[in-house]
Chains A and B, each alone.
Chain A
Amino acid sequence: DIQMTQSPASLSASLGETVSIECLASEDIYNNLAWYQQKPGKSPQLLIYYASSLQDGVPSRFSGSGSGTQYSLKINSLESEDAATYFCLQDSEYPRTFGGGTKLELK
């Protein structure tokens, strides 16, 4: 199975700041990488698919980049509603595998 290593595990940032979250795949996943946001007690919401495509309805302050084995999610101009856990998912091959998650706290 492809291993997804996500960093950092937690992050604290202030309103208006920009943050980045990384995911490293154990092998090339050919941009088949999605990012999700999950708030406590809620189901995950798709933010980015195919590494850099923004899902409909997702604010443009979210962006994804990367290739090969290294991918990142960037959130510009943090807003209070961005406090959540973020995780990556590789859908290059089955079984799909997830990163361990990054908990983003707003100061």
Chain B
Amino acid sequence: QVQLQQSGAELAKPGSSVKISCKASGYTFTSYYISWIKQTTGQGLEYIGYINTGSGGTNYNEKFKGKATLTVDKSSSTAFMQLSSLTPDDSAVYYCARDYYVMDAWGQGASVTVSS
């Protein structure tokens, strides 16, 4: 069955970076984009952007340009999101989702906590 397995929780210091992975299985990886979503209690759900897993092309929400960098490794069916220059506002659960006009399968989420 379709699965998106994300990396584990991260505790990071302000100003540092983290890289979250999302390993896909159960379907043809390059037939779907991978989207990324941020969830916080205060702001709810925010769409970060997507990566075309075939070409590596990306589309970012303006709000997350310069914050998030999306990449992909087709050989391992894994998508990555790097978050840079972390601040406490980046503390959240981050999800990846399989995307072909609709996000129909989501990873289990990766918690990022930014604290000194």
Contacts and interface: CB of A to CB of B under 8 A. Distances in A.
B104 A95 contact: no
Contacts of A94: 47, 59, 61
B79 to A, nearest CB: 15
- The secondary structure that dominates the A interface is loop
- The secondary structure that dominates the B interface is strand
Given A96-B47, A100-B44, A43 B102 contact: no
Interface stretch (A10-18, A44-52, A63-71): A44-52
A95 B103 CA distance: 13
Nearest to B104: A46
A50 B102 contact: yes
Contacts of B105: 46
B34 to A, nearest CB: 14
B49 A91 contact: no
A100 B39 CA distance: 11
Interface string B101-114: 11111111100000
A49 B107 CA distance: 18
Contact of A34 (B46, B62, B103): B103
Interface of A: 34, 42-46, 49-50, 55, 87, 89, 91, 94-98, 100-101
Interface of B: 35, 44-47, 49, 59, 61-63, 95, 101-109
9 contacts: A46-B105, A49-B101, A87-B44, A94-B59, A95-B47, A96-B35, A97-B47, A100-B44, A101-B45
Given A49-B102, A94-B61, A95-B62, 12 more contacts: A34-B102, A46-B102, A46-B105, A49-B101, A89-B45, A89-B103, A91-B103, A94-B59, A95-B47, A95-B61, A98-B46, A101-B45
